[in-house]
Amino acid sequence: MLTKQVSVFVENKKGRMEQVSKCLSDGNINIASMILADTSEYGLLRMIVSDAPKAKEVLEAAGFSAIITKVLVVKFPNIAGTLDKLMGLFNELDLSIEYMYGISTSADSATLVVKTSDNDAAAKVISEKGAESDISVICM
């Protein structure tokens, strides 16, 4: 129910993102989802990729600092209030959200990548109670 996410520290310098994309391209690694958060000196790039261990390996070989983290990938109806129901499920277990990012590319559904204080408990509560709201954990 969990998937692996690769996080990469990227200096805020011209061409650094191209170097990341080149490493992944040369390694035949596909990016399914990504988000880049920046500060004045560096960015933190989080990605769901086709082969997380290989991505970490090729990025580190190119001099990048990379880690693998387990995250939840949650799918739910693209209906107002559904995110609130998901947050309610997490609140029932006193789980905190460390970060999340998502996208809705259709009128029917939205997908969210979530890192909670206890991903196993979050996955369990979604499996047990999420079906009532058509919320499910998906694997990639």
Mean pLDDT to the nearest integer, 2-7: 92
134 confidence band (pLDDT: 50, 70, 90): confident
Identify whether the C-beta of residue 19 lies closer than 8 Å to the C-beta of residue 89: no
Find all residues with CB under 8 Å of 90, minimum gap 6, and list them: 97, 116, 122, 125
Phi-psi region of 134 (alpha: psi -120 to 50; beta: other; left: phi over 0): left
**Position 139 pLDDT exceeds 70:** no
**How far is the C-alpha of 65 from the C-alpha of 67, rounded, in Å?**
7
Identify whether the C-beta of residue 8 lies closer than 8 Å to the C-beta of residue 39: no
Amino acid identity, residue 112? L
133 confidence band (pLDDT: 50, 70, 90): low
- Residue 117 or 76, more confident: 117
135 confidence band (pLDDT: 50, 70, 90): confident
Q: What is the pLDDT of residues 99-114, one digit of tens each?
A: 999 887 778 888 889 9
Q: Delineate the domains of the chain, giving CATH numbers in brackets.
A: 2-70 (3.30.2130.10), 71-137 (3.30.70.260)
Q: What is the pLDDT of residues 12-58, one digit of tens each?
A: 889 999 999 999 999 999 999 999 998 888 899 999 999 999 999 99
**How far is the C-alpha of 138 from the C-alpha of 69, rounded, in Å?**
16
Identify whether the C-beta of residue 139 lies closer than 8 Å to the C-beta of residue 31: no
73, two tokens: 């990938």
**How far is the C-alpha of 74 from the C-alpha of 11, rounded, in Å?**
30
Q: What is the pLDDT of residues 45-97, one digit of tens each?
A: 999 999 999 999 999 999 999 999 999 998 888 888 888 998 998 999 999 99
